[in-house]
Amino acid sequence: MNDIWSRLASGETGLFFASELTANPPYFCRMASQDPIGVFDSGYGGLTVLKEIIGKLPQYDFIYLGDNARSPYGNRSFDTVYHYTLQCVQWFFEQGCSLVILACNTASAKALRTIQQNDLPKLSPGKRVLGVIRPTAEIIGTFSETKNVGILATNGTVVSESYPMEIAKFFPDLNVYQEACPMWVPLVENNEHHTHGADFFVKKNLHNIFVKGENIDVLLLACTHYPLLREKIEEYMPVGVKLISQGEIVAESLANYLLRHPEMEQRCSKNGQRVFYTTDSTEDFDSHATIFYGEPISSKHVDLGV
């Protein structure tokens, strides 16, 4: 046998793409011995988080799903985001994942709590779904000397008030200011984030948030797309302000979680494999995903009834 399965049987590890899969068995992630960590986003942005997680935890297997057919989630209602996210979480469970990371701020803000409290106990009490907001809220106050932080996010995340509420639990004396940046995701996904056209929107949103809180000394990029605009943001933000991305924070938090929960850590398979899925065109996903992931990706289509 010359396919991926004989390579796995021989003990080979590394990066395996969904396009390498053969018909028997049909999916790597459905192998009985595999329990990959699931990473979910409404589109491409979660790949920036996955990249940081893999850098921290390269030995684990990961399966990524982008719900590109229904993206973006940012302006959708709470109920819609909840139902879409729950459907994707159930899909991960069907693939054998015991642990799923919602690497999407909107899904974390609008769906995570309901899924954790209402759905998991009925669906699969032994499995876990984690988000990206709480790990960030737990430490963001340590970066600020003025006790004023700014949150740059999608409209959905801002409206949910998830960041102010979560941050208040850990840093009740911290002033939190939010600014919705609805044009930033389209700029990134259309590969326009390096153009002069992006300057207008970056300057506009930065101006707005510093009008709201002139003593802000920490800005959080509370959308997984936004790190690709980092150079533009740093060009126009005031000197002395710290710019924080979530990828490293979430990766460190996941590593700590696995240390604190050995029963889950032991279930997660460790062959260094990564498989990518999208609910939309694989050709489009692969061409855009490379921008976020930093290296070529070959994905497989999954039909969720979209």
Phi, psi of 303 (to 5 degrees): -100, 115
Is 104 noted as a catalytic residue in this protein? yes
Catalytic entry in 88, 104, 181, 268: 104
Query: How many DSSP H helices and E strands does the chain contain?
Result: 15, 10
DSSP string over 91-134? HHHHTT-SEEEE--HHHHHHTHHHIIIIIHHHH-TT-EEE-SHH
Tokens 């996955």 correspond to: 50
Cα–Cα distance measured from residue 142 to residue 269, given in angstroms and rounded to the nearest whole number: 34
Cα–Cα distance measured from residue 63 to residue 29, given in angstroms and rounded to the nearest whole number: 7
DSSP-derived 3-state class of residue 175: strand
Cα–Cα distance measured from residue 191 to residue 187, given in angstroms and rounded to the nearest whole number: 6
Amino acid at site 195: T
User: Which of 113-137 are b and which e, b meaning 16 or more Cβ less than 10 Å from the residue's Cβ?
Assistant: eebeeebbeeeeeebbbbbbbbbbb
Residues 301 and 276: beta-carbon distance below 8 Å = no
Catalytic entry in 29, 97, 181, 223: 223
Tokens of 19: 């396009």
Phi, psi of 50 (to 5 degrees): -55, -40
Tokens of 215: 């003593």
Catalytic residue numbers, as ranges: 104, 223
